[in-house]
Amino acid sequence: MLHIKAGLKPSLKEKVFDKQPQSMYELRNIVKRMEDIELMLNSGNNNEDQLESPSYSSTID
């Protein structure tokens, strides 16, 4: 895996496949948690990009 050698974080897709969800419900819960974690980690860096993303539109009031 190149991201390990290069010191990069694994992608969301790689994280989801590591969890091996058994249903669409489990898959959505995993993806939602990953998105929430990434949003929290990136909130200080680039809020504008995060807020405009369609995947986050349902969490913003």
Tokens of 56: 């986050």
Tokens of 28: 């959505």
Tokens of 6: 């290069």
What pLDDT does residue 58 have?
53
d(CA 33, CA 18): 14
Regarding pTM above 0.85, the answer is: no
Q: What does residue 8 show for φ and ψ, rounded to 5 degrees?
A: -95, 155
Q: Could you read off the pLDDT of 19-57 as tens digits, one per residue?
A: 777 888 888 888 888 888 888 888 866 555 545 555 555
